Amino acid sequence: MDNQKVIIGQMSTVYGVKGWVKVHSYTDPKENIFQYSPWYIHKQNQWQAVDIDDVKINGKYLIAHIKGCNDREIARQYSGCAIATLKEQLPVLNAGDYYWSDLLGLSIVTKEGLHLGKVQKLLETGANDVLVVRGAKESIDDRERLIPYLPDQVVCRVNLEEKTIIVDWDAEF
C-alpha cells in the first residue's frame, strides 16, 4: 500500500436500494471514520478517491452514501473494499503511542538479540492488542508467534527509524 495512506475501515455490504453501504470502522470511536475526507477506496487493484455525501448510524451499523452512487448494484461494487485516508490527516499521537500501520513490517527482536520475525498484522482482543509475528529471512525460525502488545511488560522499545521492536519474550513461545 502507498505509504501515505492508512487503512481506517472497510465497506462490508450494501444497505438498502439507494446506493448506501455498511461500513466497518477501525477507528476508535468507530464514528471517527466519518471525520476523514476524501476516503480512498481500494478497488480493482488501485486506490481511488471517493466523496461521502451522507452518513448515518443505524443501530450498531455505520452506513455511508458515496456521492453519485444512487443504485444498489453500483454500491455492490464497493463491497469488501478497504477504506483509507492520508496519513497526514490522522491526529498526532503522544510520545510512545503508535498507529498499527506504523508497526506493520517491523522486525521483532528479543532482549537477547534473537530475531523472531516481522509484524504481519495486529489483533484486537479486548484485553490487549496482539502482534502477529511471522518468521522472516533473518529469523531464528519460520514460526508464527502471537506476542501481546504490552508496553513496559513485553514490548520494551519501539524504534521506527531502525524498524524494530525489542521484546521481553521467550523464543520458545
Q: pLDDT tens across 45-65, in order?
A: 899 999 999 999 988 889 999
Domain limits for position 76: 5-89
Q: Does a structural domain hold residue 150?
A: yes
Quick one: average pLDDT of 27-53? 92
Quick one: average pLDDT of 116-137? 93
Q: Is the predicted pLDDT of residue 1 greater than 60, yes or no?
A: no
pLDDT exceeding 90 applies to what percent of the chain?
78
Q: Does a structural domain hold residue 76?
A: yes
Domain boundary residue, one of 89, 113, 143:
89
Q: Does a structural domain hold residue 173?
A: no
68 and 105 in a single domain? The answer is no
Which pLDDT does position 100 carry in this prediction? 87
Q: Is the predicted pLDDT of residue 149 greater than 60, yes or no?
A: yes
* The overall pTM is greater than 0.85: no
Q: Per residue, what are the HEC states of the chain?
A: CCCCEEEEEEEEEEECCCCEEEEEECCCCHHHHHHCCCEEEEECCEEEEECEEEEEEECCEEEEEECCCCCHHHHHCCCCCEEEEEHHHCCCCCCCCCCHHHHCCCEEEECCCCEEEEEEEEEECCCCEEEEEECCCCCCCCCEEEEECCECCCEEEEECCCCEEEECCCCCC
* Average pLDDT over the chain, rounded to an integer: 93
What's 143's domain CATH number?
2.30.30.240
Which pLDDT does position 89 carry in this prediction? 92
83 and 110 in a single domain? The answer is no
76 and 106 in a single domain? The answer is no
Q: Does a structural domain hold residue 172?
A: no
81 and 12 in a single domain? The answer is yes
Q: pLDDT tens across 159-168, in order?
A: 999 999 999 9
Q: Structural domain tally of the chain?
A: 2
Q: How confident is the model at residue 3 (pLDDT cuts 50, 70, 90)?
A: low
